[in-house]
């Protein structure tokens, strides 16, 4: 994989529940803020990480929007799949 985080690939994102997606989005936004701050102060050593984090954020937003539209489905609870 050229860019992004391996744990945030679309296949892995489909397995996350909504709360985990929100948590990952918060982490990614915080990392992007820190990277931009480092870039502005001249401390950033790896410029490609900025692009990778932006792509991760886009992947998270895409998965959230797909679920909102009903295109993608949140993982089913095991308790929901069992028939009484």
- pLDDT (tens digit, 9 = 90+) per residue, 7-60? 788 888 999 999 999 999 999 999 999 999 999 999 999 999 999 999 999 999
Residues 39-64 as b or e (16 or more Cβ within 10 Å = b)? eeeeeeeeeebbebbebbbebbeebb
Give CA–CA dist 65/80, Å, rounded: 23
Asked if 14 and 75 count as a contact pair (C-beta separation under 8 A), the reply is yes
pLDDT band at 80 (very low <50, low <70, confident <90, very high): low
Pick the closest to residue 67 from 7, 4, 25 (CA basis): 25
The confidence score (pLDDT) of residue 1 equals 37
Highest mean pLDDT among 3-7, 37-41, 78-82: 37-41
């Amino acid at each position: 994989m050229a860019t992004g985080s391996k744990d945030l690939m679309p296949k892995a994102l489909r397995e996350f529940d909504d709360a985990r997606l929100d948590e990952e989005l918060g982490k990614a936004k915080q990392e992007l803020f820190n990277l931009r701050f480092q870039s502005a102060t001249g401390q950033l050593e790896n410029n490609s990480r900025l692009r990778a984090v932006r792509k991760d954020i886009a992947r998270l937003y895409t998965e959230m929007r797909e679920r909102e539209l009903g295109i993608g489905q949140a993982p089913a609870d095991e308790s929901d799949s069992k028939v009484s």
